[in-house]
A = this chain, B = another copy of it.
């Protein structure tokens, strides 16, 4: 297949920031792209060849979009699975496959899959609704504290909650869920695996999520993770295994816990480019986005090693600010060594909205970490 400067069309479901960054590479290779997204202000709208506005959960919309492209991929999991299944059955290459997505989209099914395949993961129990979970807690079948997760449509911490008392149930949605045992862990790690339909498979180095000591929020994604080589090897091996078991194509971001005794447990996976791989644009020989593109087009995968150390800081809207966004002090941080802001193109900020990220690269990871902290303390996402 001739993908380059030809009539070939890659369809992408979702036009958010992940799609936007994927389009840097489709443009670099001059591969024609069609994008479907519900928002007329989608960040991908500029830089795709054709933009279609429509509902990603609507069968007809997704199916009709699929019929006019040659290969279909997505940058968000919340898409109509039945449409993908019908398109695949009719012969359209859909990557990742809807079979893989069906195993991942529901966290209950995902956990069952790990149990079935002997992939280490925290103990859990599935519940059809909130009432059933509350009953189990009353019966002391489930012990407080535990982690509640809704099985579908959660994102960015939305849909995950630590339950420390029965009063925490107040105001929670009455949806299918799981209760997961709380595992004390030393580190939260992630490995991005890349696999093409021919079966070529590569992993990116292990990255580490560094948490704010009080706020318990991820502050920095650090590549490479500052962990023992043996632990890193174990994490990569588990990620490879997960990818192969899912038989997935494209990128699979595998989030993991490193327990107090250096066990690795799978937390969850995302079958697409991932926040934990944004550092790769500046730090890696081949970015996660380029490798996703290579994978879904069954091209050879690029080198996943790093040129230099990379640290990523998310840019989220500050509390107390809503409206036309201003990146306060962005000129200041641009003056620092190896600092690259990525602005996603959302015109309006609101508290905690993901507006961009900043990558800090340096040959010396300690220096990168120091500059990252300065960036974190200097650049603020506020409103006019």
Contacts from A to B (Cβ < 8 Å): 2, 4-6, 20, 23-24, 27-30, 46-49, 285-286, 290, 294, 299-300, 302-303, 307-308, 324-327, 330-331, 334-335, 337-347, 356, 361, 363
Closest residue on chain B to residue A21 by CB atoms: B28
Contact: A303 with B47, CB < 8 Å? no
* Candidate in A30, A345, A347, A361 with the most chain B CB atoms within 10 angstroms: A30
In contact, A28 and B334 (Cβ under 8 angstroms)? no
- Count this chain's copies in the assembly: 2
In the complex, the answer to whether A46 meets B27 with C-beta atoms within 8 Å is: yes
Asked if residues A334 and B285 are in contact (CB atoms below 8 Å), the reply is no
Q: In whole Å, how far is A291's beta carbon from the nearest beta carbon of chain B? A: 11
Q: Could you list 28 examples of A-B contacts with CB < 8 Å?
A: A2-B327, A4-B330, A5-B325, A5-B347, A20-B27, A23-B47, A27-B46, A27-B47, A28-B340, A28-B341, A29-B341, A29-B343, A30-B343, A30-B345, A46-B47, A46-B48, A46-B49, A47-B47, A285-B337, A290-B340, A300-B331, A300-B334, A302-B339, A302-B340, A303-B338, A307-B307, A307-B308, A307-B361
A302 to B360, CA, bound (A): 12
Q: With the chains together, A341 CA to B344 CA distance in Å?
A: 25
Bound: A338/B308 CA distance, A: 14
In whole angstroms, how far apart are the Cα atoms of A29 and B330 in the complex? 10
Q: A4-B330, A24-B27 given; name 20 further pairs at CB < 8 Å.
A: A2-B326, A4-B325, A5-B345, A5-B346, A24-B24, A24-B28, A27-B46, A27-B47, A28-B340, A28-B341, A29-B341, A46-B47, A46-B48, A46-B49, A285-B337, A285-B338, A290-B340, A300-B335, A302-B334, A303-B337
| Chain B residues in 8 Å Cβ range of A363 | 307
Query: Cβ of A326: which chain B residues have Cβ within 8 Å of it?
Result: 2
The residues of B that contact A47 with a CB separation of less than 8 Å are: 23, 27, 46-47
Most buried by B among A6, A290, A331: A331
Are B4 and A343 interface neighbours, CB within 8 A? yes
Question: Cβ of A303: which chain B residues have Cβ within 8 Å of it?
Answer: 337-338
Contact status A28-B300, CB under 8 Å:
no
Distance A307 CA – B27 CA, assembled complex (angstroms):
24
Give the most central of A27, A299, A303, A344: most B CB within 10 Å. A27
Question: How close is A27's CB to chain B, nearest CB, in angstroms?
Answer: 6
Q: How far is the CA of A20 from the CA of B28 in the complex (A)?
A: 9
CA separation between A344 and B5, bound complex, in Å? 9
Q: How far is the CB of A170 from chain B (nearest CB, A)?
A: 38
Question: Which residue on B lies nearest to A338, using beta carbons?
Answer: B285
* A294 close to B337 (CB less than 8 A): no
Given contacts A285-B337, A325-B5, contact A344 B300 (CB under 8 A): no
Question: A225–B42 Cα gap in the complex (Å)?
Answer: 43
Min distance, Cβ A180 to any Cβ of chain B, angstroms: 37
**Closest residue to A50 on the B side, CB-wise?**
B46
CA distance A52 to B342 in the complex (A): 27
List the B residue with the shortest CB-CB distance to A308: B307
For A285, give its contact among B30, B48, B49, B361 (CB under 8 Å): B361
Complexed CA–CA distance, A358 and B337 (Å): 27
